[in-house]
């Protein structure tokens, strides 16, 4: 198998055991004589697959199925930007603006009701995480994004929002670390960055809050209650992506769970940031404050765009792909999600040192 070193921001690298399982399931699943993509979503095998996947999600998050339910929805995280205010904004909501995706979520909220920007890092092109917040204690909810893929920042600590419901977009760092997931009323994530392929969005929602907070009058497909009541099968769901998510969750468990995954992610990020910080400014971290740095997306610059282009071209010649920064900010970006091997990061660090020399 000729696998390159994949640093793409998403769709992103998946564990090889997961790809092998997906290869087999695409031909025949569970001894059924057909592909998992050919089976009825109402069959007992697929219903069991969804149940197992949800159980694995909640187990890794240390959440109870009595309190939370798991949904598998279409439309990407961008659909959630709209569904959340349509369902839960009755008067006003607080949004923390830390990047492009947070800004897009905020814009959708403004189409529905009154949005209070509780904090923003737009003044410095989103290269830091705000530390002071102007929360409204009467807000219908607070929304924020944990990890900002484009800029390489991460909200390290869960904001203290009091009794206000807390909603979070975890698209690019879901299940990359251990945290108190019970502090959230709704978590959502496009699967394609850290837990699976594109085509499905994972939503974890507190049942009691959804039941009392959801507004009336929404169209059927845009109501969370529709999908909660139908166990994500009101319409035909994206079965194959859910299968891959489940295999990825089983892989996380086999690796030692979130504590082990977090330790390895911190190690990988540490290798890269050390190479940047110890380069005598040859490489310059896009995020200066170490507490604000993402462990999923390491962003940095060289002295010129020409030098960055040369760096990326030579890295590609060594089978390192996906290092070009987002078109809106340029530079270099190494996305080192859960499934990115330590060996890939070690090779990148060696190349960085060689290129600098």
Nearest alpha-carbon partner for 335 in 2, 12, 98 = 12
Residue 271 is classified by DSSP as H
Contacts of 122 (CB under 8 A, 6+ apart): 97, 103
At 71 the three-state DSSP class reads strand
The answer to whether residue 44 is catalytic is: no
Residue of 94, 101, 185, 206 with catalytic role: 101
Q: How far is CA 304 from the centre of its chain?
A: 30
Candidates 173, 185, 193, 206; catalytic one: 193
Strand partners, 69: 205
Rounded Cα gap, residues 156 and 145, in angstroms: 11
Query: Among 128, 157, 125, which Cα is nearest to 287's?
Result: 128
Q: In the 8-state DSSP scheme, what is residue 70?
A: E
225 and 244 in contact (C-beta within 8 Å)?
no
Which residue out of 169, 173, 185, 292 is catalytically annotated?
169
Report yes or no: 332 and 289 within 8 Å, Cβ to Cβ: no
CA 69 to CA 66: how far, in whole Å?
8
Active-site residue flag, 101: yes
Residues with catalytic function: 101, 169, 193
């Amino acid at each position: 198998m000729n696998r390159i070193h994949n640093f793409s921001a998403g769709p992103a690298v998946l564990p090889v055991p997961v790809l092998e399982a997906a290869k087999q399931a695409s031909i025949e699943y569970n001894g059924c004589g057909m592909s998992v993509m050919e089976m009825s979503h109402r069959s007992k095998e697929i219903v069991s697959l969804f149940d197992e996947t949800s159980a694995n999600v909640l187990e890794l998050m240390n959440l109870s199925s009595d309190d939370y339910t798991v949904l598998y929805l279409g439309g990407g995280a961008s659909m959630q930007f709209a569904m959340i205010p349509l369902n839960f904004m009755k008067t006003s909501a607080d949004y923390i603006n830390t990047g492009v995706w947070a800004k897009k979520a905020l814009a959708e909220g403004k189409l529905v009701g009154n949005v209070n920007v509780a904090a923003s890092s737009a003044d410095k092109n989103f290269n830091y995480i705000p530390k002071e917040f102007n929360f409204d204690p009467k807000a219908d909810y607070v929304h924020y994004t944990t990890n900002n893929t484009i800029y390489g920042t991460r909200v390290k600590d869960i904001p203290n929002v009091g009794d206000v419901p807390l909603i979070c977009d975890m698209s690019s760092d879901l299940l990359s670390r251990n945290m108190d997931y019970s502090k959230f009323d709704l978590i959502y994530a496009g699967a394609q960055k850290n837990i699976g392929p594109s085509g499905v969005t994972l939503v974890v929602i507190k049942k009691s809050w959804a039941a009392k907070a959801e507004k009336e009058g929404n169209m059927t497909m845009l109501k969370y209650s529709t999908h909660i009541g139908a166990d994500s099968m009101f319409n035909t769901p994206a079965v194959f992506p859910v299968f891959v998510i489940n295999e990825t969750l089983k892989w996380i468990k086999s690796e030692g769970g979130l504590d082990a995954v977090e330790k390895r992610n911190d190690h990988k990020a540490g290798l890269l940031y050390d190479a940047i910080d110890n380069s005598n400014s040859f490489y310059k971290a896009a995020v200066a404050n170490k507490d604000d740095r993402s462990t999923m997306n390491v962003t940095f610059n060289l002295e010129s765009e020409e030098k960055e282009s040369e760096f990326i071209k030579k890295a590609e010649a060594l089978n390192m792909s996906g290092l070009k920064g987002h078109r809106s900010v340029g530079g270099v970006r190494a996305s080192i999600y859960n499934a990115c091997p330590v060996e890939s990061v070690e090779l990148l660090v060696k190349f960085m040192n060689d290129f600098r020399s």
